[in-house]
Structure 1
């Protein structure tokens, strides 16, 4: 079973512990057994990578007290209670206190397996969501996701670090697929509001009445969700597709901004996704709203302006997909590297991800080329190329960096193996790694 989760089994009866453990182990789970709740509590922390199966009646700390301790440590931890026939009311009370479910002795092992499967799936989802939330609140992790060493990417990172520390509202624009929402997350994560609420809302995803209620309220009494402006108070409110707001909604947003004062309690990060030829965000927003939102502005660069970052990104994504599909990543030759660098990438990074996945699938089948994936919908059998040429030196250096980077990763930082494969002397390899900013430690 891939990514098998742990199951902690707590029962004072040795035979019961062993039988449950053996059955679940046969089903692919990683089990560990404890003779008492006290022993188990030494191991079961707030991010325990699995679930708990425990008897209710035990000497010392009983199952109910044990459950309360676990819920106090991690209220999302699935706990399956095992009860005797006369203890069903106690098991029902345990579920009220947070237990996942209960099994009455003697229980069907298949029922145990069914419950374990549901509980571990729920636990895996909880832990994945926690990891994602931690990642989205970790500024260094998010900055690492902004891959690339091109001048435009270095400038973007500097802008994020500078503007992240500022108090004003921010307008983020750029072509579709460039990563504007990731930039918004990074702005929040590197700033003073990093530990506070981050609320993301698409202005184009709802009808105006529903959007007005979600953004400003009032919500219906039976609705548990509070308006976004209240939910994000003190933190960051990200409004995607800001250009989709009607005049009336723009007026309400402007009133909210005016009421916030300076510095604002809640920071607004507006994301513009306009693609209309000859029309800009200045045309779509009221002038007074535009100038309030665009006091600080970030334009995310298109992929075609990022030079050799294109090859770095393609390699990273191809490696990820190759791992997912259980096959080798495609090797890019010099001609294909030039084609990747020359393509106009109208869909930017999002399009590059799709091309990388398709390239992996083609490679697994042993057919197709990267050139075929870059064919234009408007040109028959002709690779799409940019109209602006680049010096040959740029193509050669970009390919050379990609080749060394790929080889270093494949050999996990072994300098001797890389020298042998690329037929390079040690000094030349060291000079080229220094030139391209490649560190051996990153591959080990």
Structure 2
């Protein structure tokens, strides 16, 4: 066995604990024993590097209660339950709660070893996948650009990790300015094709004949590059504005995709940037092409649905522009924070980038307000509001979080300096940082 998996043995009978432990140790496992469920729970956490074998009938907390606790902490943890002869209802209940399997006393040691092997293999796969996802989500530079703690952004990052590991073609759609091309880069970066070619073609930027030639050839001897479908072979081909393909090119693209088979030699990531009101990619693409692409689909969340991510993004962007222009980032008042949260943001993140840069330039000149920038973008909107209001408490909390975050950044994690500037006692600051998920180590 390449790596010895841990096995936690929980049983109130000492002889039973020792006999199971000795048998599994001979099979190459690293065992540890517990005389009660309460003792086991002190050790068994969500990332426990192994499996659990537990008796059902124990004094105090029984095996079913232990199983429920373990499943609540980590539903993928394999737990093998040991039942007495004739305890069929308890075995059925254990399987319903989430047990990996059960053994009926008296049990065959070889059967126990076989069950332990299957459970350990399942656990190893789960832990490997979990470690990979953490590495990708935390260590990939592109993924780190997908800033935000809102539920829609958490889900987007999960979708990217899931679809990145898959190998099918992908359709990315959503409103303009939401970051669809960035997500296409991220899908490539977190997948098995990360070291291969990444080729991007803007379908709307080329005339019909030039687009056909760029995608499929034939190329002339004097041409410096291969057709995109050949250039991206083994990697990812991203088609921006895929709706700009005419019927002939859509049919050609579908034919190429069909010829590649499964898994695809070249992965197609299609980006739909439809502007017309009421139109979707399904309306303008051939049904067979649409359904082939949309089997794996990501719809980008608009900025107005991302809550206090708006303030987080504005802060980061204004700091970047302030550094670029050699000045201080503008301080956002509570009223301005509410205006940023209330704005409809039809241009999404792209519009926010523009507003942040202009706010820095205004601040450098010592004039202007964020409200004036928002109004200049949408003069017809009086006042700048979304159709859906939020409770005052949400605006206050979003501003408070932004204020603490900004102050921690300026003082590079110095708690004493932040306490002094915000006139907060240590305990209150700690409580608010915990409430908003802010950690001092992120600012050092």
TM-score, length-normalised on structure 1? 0.68
Corresponding position of 2:256: 256
Corresponding position of 2:347: 347
What do the CA deviations read for 1:137-156 (whole angstroms, capped 9, x no partner)?
Answer: x9611111000000000000
192-201 or 374-383, which deviates more:
374-383
| Unaligned stretches of 5+ residues in structure 1 | 1-137
Contact 1:201 1:239 in 2 (8 A): yes
Residue 237 (1) aligns with residue 237 (2): yes
* Matches of 1:373 and 1:223, distance apart in 2: 46
Counterparts of 1:40-439 in structure 2, within 5 Å, are 140-375=140-375, 379=379, 382-439=382-439
Match of 2:205, SS?
A: coil
Match of 2:173, SS?
A: strand
What do the CA deviations read for 1:55-108 (whole angstroms, capped 9, x no partner)?
Answer: xxxxxxxxxxxxxxxxxxxxxxxxxxxxxxxxxxxxxxxxxxxxxxxxxxxxxx
The 1:383–1:357 alpha-carbon spacing in structure 2 relative to 1, beyond 3 Å, is farther
* Matches of 1:235 and 1:250, distance apart in 2: 20
* Matches of 1:187 and 1:258, distance apart in 2: 22
| RMSD of equivalent CA atoms | 1.5
The 1:214–1:380 alpha-carbon spacing in structure 2 relative to 1, beyond 3 Å, is closer
* Matches of 2:299 and 2:376, distance apart in 1: 26
Q: How many residues align?
A: 308
Match of 1:204, SS?
A: helix
The 1:346–1:208 alpha-carbon spacing in structure 2 relative to 1, beyond 3 Å, is same
Match of 2:168, SS?
A: coil
* Aligned-residue offset at 1:441: 1.2
Corresponding position of 1:15: none
Corresponding position of 1:7: none
Contact 1:178 1:301 in 2 (8 A): yes
Contact 1:213 1:227 in 2 (8 A): yes
* Matches of 1:226 and 1:355, distance apart in 2: 40
What do the CA deviations read for 1:302-357 (whole angstroms, capped 9, x no partner)?
Answer: 00000000000001110111111111111001000000000000000010011011
The 1:323–1:200 alpha-carbon spacing in structure 2 relative to 1, beyond 3 Å, is same
* Matches of 1:193 and 1:242, distance apart in 2: 22
* Aligned-residue offset at 1:439: 1.3
Contact 1:237 1:268 in 2 (8 A): yes
* Aligned-residue offset at 1:379: 3.8
TM-score, length-normalised on structure 2? 0.68
* Aligned-residue offset at 1:404: 0.3
* Aligned-residue offset at 1:425: 1.2
* Aligned-residue offset at 1:430: 1.1
* Aligned-residue offset at 1:278: 1.7
Contact 1:376 1:382 in 2 (8 A): no
* Matches of 2:298 and 2:381, distance apart in 1: 37
* Matches of 1:420 and 1:191, distance apart in 2: 46
* Matches of 1:204 and 1:139, distance apart in 2: 33
* Aligned-residue offset at 1:378: 5.6
The ranges of structure 1 where at least 4 consecutive aligned residues each deviate by more than 2 angstroms after the TM superposition are 376-383
What do the CA deviations read for 1:200-241 (whole angstroms, capped 9, x no partner)?
Answer: 001101011111111001100111210000000010000000
* Aligned-residue offset at 1:380: 5.6
376-385 or 197-206, which deviates more:
376-385
429-438 or 230-239, which deviates more:
429-438
The 1:175–1:381 alpha-carbon spacing in structure 2 relative to 1, beyond 3 Å, is closer
Contact 1:139 1:189 in 2 (8 A): no
What do the CA deviations read for 1:258-312 (whole angstroms, capped 9, x no partner)?
Answer: 1010111111000000021121111100000001111100011000000000000
* Matches of 1:184 and 1:279, distance apart in 2: 22
What do the CA deviations read for 1:165-214 (whole angstroms, capped 9, x no partner)?
Answer: 00110000011110000000000000011010100001101011111111
Match of 2:268, SS?
A: strand
* Matches of 1:321 and 1:146, distance apart in 2: 18
The 1:190–1:156 alpha-carbon spacing in structure 2 relative to 1, beyond 3 Å, is same
Match of 1:374, SS?
A: helix
Corresponding position of 1:113: none
* Aligned-residue offset at 1:382: 3.3
Match of 2:204, SS?
A: coil
* Matches of 2:387 and 2:376, distance apart in 1: 14
